[in-house]
Structure 1
Amino acid sequence: MSDRAVPEGEDAPGLTMSAGLYRLRRVSTTDFDPGDRFDAWRETAYSIADLEVPDAGEAELFGTKYAVRGTIGNFASHAGSVHRTIITPAARLSGALDAIIISLMAEGSVGLESPGGEQPITPTGRLVAYDATKAMRYHWSVGKEIYVVLPRIKALEAFGGELPGIVQPLDTIPLGVMVRDHMAALDLHAEHLDVKEMAVALDALHTLALLLLQRIGRGLGDREEPDPNALFLAAKRYIHANYNVVDLSPDAIARAVGCSRATLYRAFTHNGATIMDTVRDIRLSMSRRLIEAGTGRSISVIAYDCGFKDASSFGKQFRSRFGVSPRAWRHQFG
C-alpha cells in the first residue's frame, strides 16, 4: 500500500472488494455456486494473503467478510471456518503487501508459522500488530478476526522502526485497550452507519491506531514495563476466554499477554489480586451460570467444562465461595 489516499474505484491491500470510500461492502461464501465457491472466495476475499486449498476431510469452507476503505487505511472483519492462508516470499518481494495489520481476534485463535518454525498463537481477545511483508503461514481456527490495515511506511514511522518478532502485542497499555474496544464497537455498528458517520469513526480509529503504535514503540525504546492496569485487564480477558482449559497456568497466561511471569504477578499484585485466585473466581462464576441455566448437564460435566480437574475439588471450592453445594444451588433454580 502506498502512503497516500486510495482513489475511488482502486483497491488497497486487504480489500479486493471494490467500493467507494467509507462505504461498507459485504461478501459471503454463500454468494457463489458450490462448484466455484473456493476459487471465487479466494479471489474475492483475499489479497494480503493467499487462501490455501483445504485438506481432505476438513469441514466445508464458509465465511463472511465486510470491508471499508478510508483515506488513512482500511477496516475489515472476517468470520469463517478453519482455514490456512500464506504470504509467500514472492508476494512479499513484489511490494503488493506493503501494510501493517492491527488484528483483534474477536473469536477463535490464529497460529502464525514463520519460515524459521516459530508458531506463536494469538488467542481470543488479543490485540496485536504484524507486518504483512513477512513471509508466513496463518492457521485460523473457526472464529472471527477484526482488523485494521495501515500503510506500512506510515505505521513504521509512528512505531519508530521495524516491529520486533512475528507479532507485537498492543493491548498492554490503556490506549491499546481503547483501540481494541473501538474496533469491536465499529464491527458491531458498522452496518448502521451512514457514509459521514463511518468516515468520522474510521478516521478516528486509524488516528488512534497510529498513536498506539507510536506509544508502544516509544515504550519499547525506553524499556518501560507494560502498564500494570492494562496488563491486568488483558490477562483477565484471556482467562475469561480460556477458563475451561484445565491446565491454565500463570506461564500460559503470561505468554498469551506478552510478558514475563514475574511482570504478570506484579500486575495482579498492583490490582490487589492473584493470578490463580482470579482463574478460580472466573471458573466458579461461569459454573454457577451454567447451573442456573438448567442445561441438564451433570455437576461433574459442568465442573470439567469450567476447567476443574475433578468434581470433588469443584464442590469444595463452590461451597466455600457460595455457601452451598453445587447441587443445592441447582435445587434453588430447579
Structure 2
Amino acid sequence: MLTLDTLDPRSLSSDIHTWMEQVSRLCGRYRAIHALPSIQWAIENHAATDCIRMVTNCDQMTRSQADARRDTQDFYFLVLQLNGLADMTQGERTVRLSPGDLVLIDSTCSSNFHFGIKGTLSDQVSLILPRERLSVVFEGRAPRTAAAIAATSFNAGMLGTLVGQLYMNASPSEAHHDALIDATLSLLRPELGLEEIQPLELLKASKDKLLRRAVAIIDANLSNPDFKAQDIALQMGTSLRNLHRVFARHSTTPGRFIIDQRLHLSAARLRQAPHLSISNIAFDCGFVDLSHFSKAFRRYFGVTARAFRSQLLIK
C-alpha cells in the first residue's frame, strides 16, 4: 500500500469557514456539518497533477444536486484513502473506505461524505480525472461511482501507486503526466466496469423534460453525420456541461445516445428495406465510416449487420 508522510498536527486548522472556501475552490460547492470548535482539517493541492490531499474529522460534507448545477465542476474524483475511515455516498450507494481502498466520485451528482468516524482523522488523496478521457476509455458509458475498489483487489495496489506518483511528483512533464493518467484509466475499467444503461425506450419515455427535449432533437437529426452534442445544447439553449449532466443521470452521454439511436434506426431499416445495401443504410443513418458502423453494430447487437439481416430473412 502507498505510504505518505503523516501531516504535522500543527498544520491542522479549526477555521471551518476558510476550509469550506478552499474546498469550494478546489472541489466545488459543499456544505459542512460539524460541532464547532472541534473540527480539524488541512488541504494540500498539487495543481500541476490535479491532486488534492485532505485531512479532516468533519462529521458530514454534503453536495446537493442544486450545488452541482450551480458551479462549474465537471469531472470525476478518484479517492485513495491513506489513513482513518470515510463513508462516501452517491446515489443509493454508500461505501466505507479503509486505508488502501479507492472509490470514484462524480462531481456532477449529489453526494454525502462522513469523515470523523470512531474519532479518527480521515486522510485522503483525490485525483481529478477529466470526464472526456473517462468517456473514451468507458466507451461513452458511465463508470460505477461509490463502488469500492478494495485494497485487497487485484489492481488497487497499482492504482494507489499511480495516484501516489502523481501526488508526490508535483511537476511532472506533460508526457509523464498523461502516461500516468492513461495507466490509471486503463486499470479503472476492469475494477469498475460499466453502469447498466437504461433501454432506449425507457429513456425516451422518461419524465425528465430536458432529456425528452434532447431526445426529440436527436431523433430529428440522426441522418446528419455532422450532428454532435454541441448542436443539441445550442438548440436547447443550454450549456454543453448541463447537457452532459442530463444524460449522466441515466448513465450515458449525448454522444453515446446518438450512436445508439443510429444503431437502432439502422436495425429498423434492415427490417423494413431488405432491398437496400447495408452500406447505404449505414450512411443514411448518419454513419460516415462503414468499418466503424460494422464494429459498433456487432458490439451493440451481438451479431454483424449481415447476420442480423439473414436472421430476419430466415424468420
Give the TM-score range, shorter chain. Answer: 0.3 to 0.5
Normalised by the length of structure 1, the TM-score is: 0.46
Normalised by the length of structure 2, the TM-score is: 0.48
